[in-house]
Each structure stands twice: as structure tokens, then as C-alpha cells.
Amino acid sequence: MRIIVQNTKCQGHARCASHAPHIFKLDDTGYILPGNIEVAEGEEVTASRGARSCPERALKLDRE
Ligand code: F3S
């Protein structure tokens, strides 16, 4: 599973990182770092929760 990061939508709410700081890495100003995120096996549920918590819908799940 992969998370597609849409940086232009991120407003720095940091809810993603509050669910899973080891998956959703933020920069010094609290915005998500650019680049899609490859989710490790066993982390899918946590990653999904974090992605769905974003009020700006900046994080899309890609289950391919
Ligand atoms: Fe940004 Fe959404 Fe996370 S606004 S910091 S991607 S909760």
C-alpha cells in the first residue's frame, strides 16, 4: 500500500503525524514532507487512519 501525498493541499494540521509520526513525517513548519509514502506490511491500518484524518484530504490511499 502507498500513500499519495498532495503537498499543495497540506495546511499543516499535523493530524496525520499524531496518528503515526513514524509514517507521516513533517518538516520544521509542520507540513508533510514531499514524496509518496510506501507503507510497510502490518502498518496499513495505522496509515489508513492517519491518511483519513487529514481534513484537507491531502493524503490518498493507493492500495495497488
Ligand atoms: Fe498536512 Fe493533512 Fe497532515 S494538512 S500535516 S497532511 S493532517
- Which domains are delineated in the chain? 2-62 (3.30.70.20)
Average pLDDT over residues 15-19: 97
Q: Cα–chain-centroid distance for residue 35?
A: 10
Query: For position 64, what pLDDT does the model report?
Result: 74
ipTM over 0.90: yes
Cell 490511499 appears where?
A: 61
Q: What is the pLDDT of residues 25-64, one digit of tens each?
A: 999 999 999 999 999 999 999 999 999 999 999 999 998 7
How many Å is the Cα radius of gyration of the chain?
Answer: 10
Residues in CB range of 6: below 8 A, 6 or more apart: 57, 58, 59, 60
Ligand 1 atom nearest to 30, measured from its CA: 5
Does 51 sit in the ligand 1 pocket, CB within 6 Å? no
Q: Which atom of ligand 1 is nearest to the CA of 14?
A: 5
Q: How far is the CA of 59 from the centre of ligand 1 (A)?
A: 8
